[in-house]
Amino acid sequence: INAEYMGTEEAKALQGEKNRYLSRVLRDFRRNGWQLSTEEREKIKQIQTKISELGIQYSKNLGEDDTKVEFLREELAGIPDSVMQQFKQTESGKFIVTMKYPDYFPLMGKCSVESTRKQMEFAFTNRCVPQNINILDELVQLRARHAKILGFANHASYVIDIRMAPSPDKVNDFLSDLSRKLQPLADEEHKYLLSLKEEEMKAAGLPFDGCINAYDSRYYNKMCEAKRYQVDDEMIRQYFPLDTVTKGLMDIYQTLLSLRFNEVDKSDVHAWHEDVRLFNVYDAITNDFMGQFYLDLHPRTGKYGHAAVFSLIPCCEYGGQVQRTVSAMLCNFTKPTSTSPSLLRHSEVVTYFHEFGHVMHNICSSVQLSRFSGTSVERDFVEAPSQMLENWCWQRESLLLMCGHVSDPNKKLPDELLEKLLKSKNANCGLFNKRQIVLASFDQKLHSIKEGQIVDFYETFVTTSKEHSPIPVTAGTNFAANFGHLVSYDASYYGYLWSDVF
């Protein structure tokens, strides 16, 4: 192709997408070893197959993890009754808490019993140990070998070669520079959290260890929001029932993008679970069909445990017609019951809006070739549209469209609560972004090794955390076993910060 076709008049005449497609195909050939010997190409093929198998198993282990911890009621002090209602109980009356997001995050944010938080954080960050650590051991070595055969210094160089960022060195410089700039803000926030903890320990007659531990972070962040910004998380979530948020969110997106969403009748939906909903999308002006999306919003055993959007069918021109995209959005919001509605925290509303932005990125795509459909863009750009759209979750008008009290949908978030919420937008953003830098730097370090270089995942994470964050890693944990982005966003986690900054 390179030697013969590129010199033809047809190739020279290619423009727009088709010209870009040709350059991408040639690049893909090189990145898959077409220039290598038959023997080396076979090695590449075998390595890629094994990498895929290991990644699937890693994610499967996480999805099927069923770790639970049992607690007495007094061990769950501080947790609101609305959250307690979702915990199942043993015959002896203990409460069963899972590692699913609707259980874990409310507990870590509200439980005033330090030993309970410590036990939960330990269990959460040790999910799939040792099986996923064994998988990562093999995975990072295979990626390093794969990069070496193709002529790259390491896997990070191989990945970033086709990103917006020029090189791994530029990525590391970017992360280090951002960390330095955030240091004064993070120090100030950390100092305030320490004062909150010291005050609480003194009032309880307990010793103060002078440290915000990993199992303290979310708890004192929530306390900071309550004390410094007077944000009552539990009161605010009463105004964000899932159905109300869903309607408001869809109204906003339909208005912004001139679209119309029509839900498909349950009897006509052939999906992977009964909870899944399907929507057809039309251009509100021309009435043209634009595509479909599935919503799968509640946790269950075996399901992907984070929040993400998957493109099932890409947009393209095919047989003289336009093939429209089909996307699936997966989240893990509390499932409503006959006695307890699903109420979202504002942070979950932001997550919902963010992920739905990816759906719209796919739906609004209009391309000739599926290669460029929707979110098929450079990985360190793909978060930018959704991060931009998140800002609607911090605007008065749009929040009022998405809220309505659980007892009366017409009762909107009071002005006083709304103003306090809006003022809390940047609460603890220094420490939050420092944490993002830790994760991005950890990802880069793991994928910058050479083949045969031994990796201690725990020690590498501890070292990386010390470089950027005042919050220590809990001894005996191994976060790498459940950091799913190491499989799906390998050497690319920096993209969240890159998209946000640029």
355 counts as catalytic: yes
Cα 206 from Cα 141, distance rounded (Å): 47
Cα 212 from Cα 217, distance rounded (Å): 6
pLDDT at 93: 97
Kind plus residue range of the DSSP H or E element containing 290: strand 289-296
pLDDT at 339: 86
Is the model's pLDDT at 2 over the cut of 70? no
Cα 447 from Cα 144, distance rounded (Å): 7
419-467 pLDDT per residue, tens: 999 999 999 999 999 999 999 999 999 999 999 999 999 999 999 999 9
- Closest CA relative to residue 142, chosen from 490, 428, 439, 496: 490
Average pLDDT value over all residues in the chain: 96
Please give the DSSP secondary-structure letter assigned to residue 67. -
Confidence of residue 5 (pLDDT cuts 50, 70, 90): confident
pLDDT at 7: 82
213-229 pLDDT per residue, tens: 999 999 999 999 999 99
Quote the pTM value. 0.93
Kind plus residue range of the DSSP H or E element containing 442: helix 429-446
Is the model's pLDDT at 273 over the cut of 90? yes
**Catalytic-labelled residue, pool 121, 225, 355, 383:** 355
